[in-house]
């Protein structure tokens, strides 16, 4: 590995790390040299991710928790500092979606999308920022979505929440730059998971949209992890307030 991409000696937190992209990000960050605290609601899932990280010779802390609960967020930060002594990197990966046309999305459904996709990103960032400020800096990486950059047809709540994540990223980057805290986002496109095929079958029009991806395939967790590692490492040291789109060219092809 080129030393500019090394995370050796860094401590990271990855939320939503029990499966899919979050798990891949956590494991690849460990390969890059980081010790990683992993969180998700399922204890079994985060313990499995932590076990994989330990096999790589890195330290890992599994924290079952719900990032929609502010008290649990504060507990996560406290446990990580107690275990590792610092927090250098936060990856806000938690998110969820249930597509519905705008006229069919209930108020509760809208609130759920904001509470799941936007609020935890802010609350987790706010919780780690004082630690990073006092230690002389840090990096926050928010997992947004291409649907925050274009029309999110039949997915209005998710798209609006992810657009909020992108704006939040820019705002915190400017506010926290004096503390040497860099804040960036990654906007993934389709992700290769067991849920993708199900979505292609259930959501009208999604298959046609997927066919418009110039690279003609979904991205892998490892590819998204590569973008995160770039932003977290010395290689991305002059990047802040930016959103790195990693979607096989889908967003570019829609303009």
Active site residues: 158
> Do 6 and 32 touch, CB atoms closer than 8 A?
yes
Backbone phi, psi, residue 176, to 5°: -100, 0
Give SS3 for 11: strand
Instruction: List, in sequence order, the alpha helices (H) in the chain.
Output: 20-31, 43-55, 70-84, 107-117, 119-135, 156-176, 194-202, 206-210, 221-232, 250-253
CA dist., res. 34 & res. 73, Å (int)? 21
DSSP 220: P
């Amino acid at each position: 590995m080129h030393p500019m991409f090394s995370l050796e000696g860094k401590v990271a937190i990855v939320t939503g790390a029990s499966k899919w992209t979050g798990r891949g990000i956590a494991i690849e960050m460990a390969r890059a040299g980081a010790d990683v605290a992993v969180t998700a609601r399922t204890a079994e899932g985060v313990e499995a991710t932590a076990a994989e990280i330990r096999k790589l010779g890195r330290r890992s802390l599994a924290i079952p928790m719900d990032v929609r609960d502010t008290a649990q967020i504060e507990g996560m930060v406290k446990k990580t500092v107690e275990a590792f002594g610092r927090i250098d990197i936060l990856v806000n990966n938690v998110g969820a979606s249930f597509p519905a046309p705008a006229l069919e999305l209930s108020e509760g459904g809208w609130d759920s999308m904001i509470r799941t996709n936007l609020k935890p990103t802010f609350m987790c960032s706010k919780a780690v920022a004082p630690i990073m400020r006092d230690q002389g800096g840090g990096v926050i990486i928010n997992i947004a979505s291409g649907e925050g950059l274009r029309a999110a047809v039949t997915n209005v709540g998710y798209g609006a929440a992810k657009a909020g994540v992108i704006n939040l990223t820019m705002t915190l980057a400017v506010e926290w730059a004096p503390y040497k805290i860099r804040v960036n986002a990654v906007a993934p496109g389709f992700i290769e998971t067991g849920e993708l095929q199900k979505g292609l079958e259930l959501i009208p029009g999604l298959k046609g949209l997927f066919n418009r991806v110039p690279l003609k395939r979904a991205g892998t967790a490892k590819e998204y992890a590569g973008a995160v590692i770039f932003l977290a490492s010395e290689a991305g040291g002059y990047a802040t307030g930016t959103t790195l789109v990693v979607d096989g060219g889908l967003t570019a092809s829609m303009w």
